[in-house]
Structure 1
Amino acid sequence: MARPLSRRAFLGGSLALGATTLLAACGGESRDRGSGSGAWSFTDDVGNTIELDRRPTRIAGLNDAIASLWNYGIQPVASFGYTALADDVNFEGKDTSKVTEVGTTYGQIDVEALMAQRPDVIVTHAYPVDSEGTLDPEKPLYGFNDLEQQKLVGQIAPIVAIAMAGSATTVIERTAEFARSLGVTEQELAKPKQDYEAACERLRAATSSGLTVMAVAAYPGEGVHIAKAKDDPALRSYTELGMSYPDPGGSEYYWRSVSWENITDYRTDVVLYSLRAMDGDAMLEQPTFAQLPAAKAKQLYPWEFSSMDYVAQARTIDRLAANLEKARKVT
């Protein structure tokens, strides 16, 4: 989804030197999975190959990325993102008391606090800049305020980037590959993968009636931003399972921005609303939106953003399928 940016001043070159010095003096701690034997390497989605003399055990990173690893049994040592872990649905049911939150607003990272956790690697996402999935090396990875901050953090530990491009099926598998490199076994992945595949089949059956769907992020003063399925990994994967998602058109990447006055031109059986924007009840208060077939039928359901792993995606797809199972054709 769209990525909010917050700005702040942060420490410069002197801290980078301090980070190098401290890391040279401090070794990583062993965790439950052990450090493994021999060298470790992983090539991420921006083409960087990270090589260490042992398997990483102290993992820090973006909320969205570490949530997936935690669903596979790897508890992170530090997190940063656009919100506190307590407010992130991807961490519901998890004891986050032992995770040091070094940033709870996008782009704001306490570098000293992150350094104190002595991560072996830092994992985040790379978002494309166009519909072709292009990754621009001149733009910071997701979660970083700018390239200067990213470089500073990279001096604490190597940064692993997983691309949020193409279909969710690809992103999920790449995330699983990274988890395997950290010691997660095929046996540990088997049941989550089975649940994910079952959820996918349920969604495939739920979409067989030909329901049309659009996903939106709406704001009172801005109008409605209609997501483009080909540009959102999760939505794209749903269309691969048979969900009918009309292209809203427009030349913009990811979104088609539409005024409240013109939203009546976009008629679907179901509307999915972003949990980070106006909810369905709030949108129904807009007279033009209330005229849509989906609005009249009260077929407005949450558009959930969940981490890219078998566990979270199975849960989200099951809920989406359950909503579509009770919807009907109204266009």
Structure 2
Amino acid sequence: MRSSLSRRAFLGGSLALGATGLLAACGGGTSNDRPSGREGGSGAWSFTDDTGNTVSLDRRPTRIAGLNDAIASLWNYGIVPVASFGYTALADDVNFEGKDTSEVTEVGTTYGQIDIEALAAQRPDVIVTHAYPVDSSGKLDPKKPLYGFNDLDQQKLVGEIAPIVAIAMAGSATGVVDRTVELAKSLGVTDDDLAGPKKEYEAARDRLREVARKGLTVMAVAAYPSDGVHIAKAQDDPALRSYVELGLSYPDPGGSEYYWQSVSWENISDYRTDVVLYSLRAMDGDAMLDQPTFAQLPAAKAGQVYPWEFSSMDYVAQARTIDNLAENLERARKVT
């Protein structure tokens, strides 16, 4: 994890103070004796993940465990997990709202803390997670643990329970969504299952593309009373990057650091946009408006300060998030 603000911690995970700064981000139930939503295939199964690792099994996996973010996407396609781990409890994760999580075994509700024995007891066939790049090129570092694991030793122990499959959170969200679909289809999800969610996803993208024609400039931030404002670089965040591809404008805040440009409250007035999106895991819009310098920004004066949502990388969750963003921007106006 980086010693500066981790992007995933900001987007949806717990935040903790480290020694040098902020550290890192449909279906029915299942039980110990039932597979996770799909019948296993009789033939062999193979999937090459985004680290280049090929996982091969004698049959298609049915008992799926993994990182909250990854299993949320599979669940939206009808694959119910047997176990979860991540940065928070499922009940506190917006990606699981409306789902009956009572029969999913939570083997970790704090980042990097996984009950290995509890995970093994669920007998997963495969464990899914994400891999985050280390710089703007999208490079993955094999010497660093995959997302959700405290270190490589813990990752190795988990990998001895079941093979690990990782989807990279790099490039545009459209690519991450597509790769997640590929994984879901390998696990038995059909084109018929995907047709409705994909249609809603494309409709949401069309809606955002239309509102982007207004020419609004947008800034996505994580703000803290004593730490100032961290401005996200759209090209380094898959979701923001996909919005730029649809025509939305996120001005480059500058700076050489990956993902963030950190700005003091005194200097935030130099960053003027029509809209500001605030992290749901940092200061909310009202708290930011209490900061005198922020309150003088054009977006703040116009009341155009809205939530920045993180959602899992699938048709269902992305459609919801994009629709929410489009709805907010539809009522915003140019003020710069």
Do Structure 1 and Structure 2 share a fold, with TM-score over 0.5?
A: yes
Q: Structure 1: which 5+ residue stretches go unaligned?
A: 8-26
Distance 1:130 1:265, change over 3 A: same
Distance 1:32 1:92, change over 3 A: closer
- Aligned position for 1:164: 169
Q: Could you tell me how far 1:37 is from its partner in structure 2? A: 1.9
Aligned length: 312
Q: Could you tell me how far 1:28 is from its partner in structure 2? A: 8.1
- Aligned position for 1:74: 79
Q: Distance in 1 between matches of 2:131 and 2:307?
A: 25
Return the TM-score normalized by structure 1. Answer: 0.92
Tell me which moved more, 30-39 or 265-274.
Answer: 30-39
Contact 2:36 2:79 in 1 (8 A): no
Residue pairs, 1:30-179, within 5 angstroms: 30-179=35-184
Percent sequence identity is 81
Q: Could you tell me how far 1:276 is from its partner in structure 2? A: 0.7
Q: Distance in 1 between matches of 2:221 and 2:148?
A: 23
Contact 2:311 2:317 in 1 (8 A): yes
2:198 is equivalent to residue 187 of structure 1: no
Q: Distance in 2 between matches of 1:5 and 1:311?
A: 26
Q: Structure 2: which 5+ residue stretches go unaligned?
A: 1-6, 18-31
SS in 2 for 1:288: helix
SS in 1 for 2:161: coil
**Aligned counterpart in structure 2 of residue 307 of structure 1, from 304, 312, 318:** 312
- Aligned position for 1:277: 282
Distance 1:205 1:169, change over 3 A: same
Distance 1:287 1:59, change over 3 A: same
SS in 2 for 1:109: coil
Contact 1:213 1:270 in 2 (8 A): yes
Q: Distance in 2 between matches of 1:110 and 1:5?
A: 21
Q: What are the superposed Cα offsets for residues 29-70 of structure 1, whole Å, 9 maximum, x if unpaired?
A: 545421112100000000000000000000000000000000
SS in 2 for 1:155: helix
Q: Distance in 2 between matches of 1:2 and 1:82?
A: 10
Q: Distance in 2 between matches of 1:31 and 1:146?
A: 28
Contact 2:71 2:81 in 1 (8 A): yes
Contact 2:126 2:165 in 1 (8 A): yes
Distance 1:207 1:32, change over 3 A: closer
Q: Distance in 2 between matches of 1:266 and 1:198?
A: 32
- Aligned position for 1:228: 233
2:327 is equivalent to residue 297 of structure 1: no
Coordinate RMSD, CA, aligned: 1.4
- Aligned position for 2:251: 246
Return the TM-score normalized by structure 2. Answer: 0.91
